[in-house]
Amino acid sequence: MPAPEPGESWGVLGGVFDPVHHGHLALARDIRTACRLDGVLFVPTFEPPHRSARPVAGYLDRVEMLDLALQDKSGFEISRIEETTSRPSYTLDTVRALKAAHHDVEFSFLVGADNLDQLKTWHEWEKILDEVRLLVGCRPGAAINELPDLPADRIDLVETSLVDLSSTYVRSRIKPGLSLDELVRMVPSAVAGYILQRKLYR
């Protein structure tokens, strides 16, 4: 896959992606368009630092589902950089590794507004904001003053589509007998086929 080129501006969307769903794709698409990014790197977490985020599917399955989800989407790429960074996979280490691997690329970190209240639980979160700006996908009309005690000059709120989905919810809906039509309402069709073929999340 082509890497970000020097002089370009890229977003980084990290996550467990267990599985990737329409909400992830909408967040990346809307922020890329609104902020005129050259592209978005999807970085699947190898080993989440929070025990509650431990993945159900293995790393290679999650990478393969991402690859299927992004195969027809220009400007969306996968980085497997967390395979070679420290364990557990801290966002700060990932960001620094990406910047070291791609010189003269301006990186921003993408998150959904629902994850912003957890920012201060992240490992050395202040240093993350020293390294990259945070682009936060949020509901229309949200204001930065709704985010107290965070450095507003390092965070941009970006209006994004409202997609009420989580990977936890998707996994909870998968059971024997679930149809492909039901699953594609939550995940891309190629990902749905892969989940059913591999019998994941049952």
Question: What CATH number is given to the structural domain containing 135?
Answer: 3.40.50.620
The verdict on residue 172 lying in a domain is no
Q: Does 184 fall in a domain? A: no
Q: Does residue 33 lie within any of the structural domains?
A: yes
User: In this predicted model, what pLDDT tens digit does every residue of 5-50 receive, in sequence order?
Assistant: 999 999 999 999 999 999 999 999 999 999 999 999 999 999 887 6
Three-class DSSP category at 136: strand
Predicted confidence (pLDDT) per residue in 108-132, tens digit: 999 998 888 888 889 999 999 999 9
- The two counts, helices (H) then strands (E), for the chain are 8, 6
Alpha-carbon separation of residue 124 from 23, 51, 97, 98, 130 (angstroms): 27, 17, 15, 17, 10
Domain count of the chain? 1
pTM assigned to the model? 0.92
DSSP annotation string for 24-78: HHHHHHHHHHHHT-SEEEEEE-SS-SSGGG--SS-HHHHHHHHHHHHTT-TTEEE
Flag whether 3 is in a domain.
no
Range of the domain at 115: 9-163
Q: Does some domain include residue 171?
A: no
Residue 198 CA, chain-centre distance (Å), reads: 23
Q: Is residue 180 part of a domain?
A: no
Query: Quick check: is 186 in a domain?
Result: no
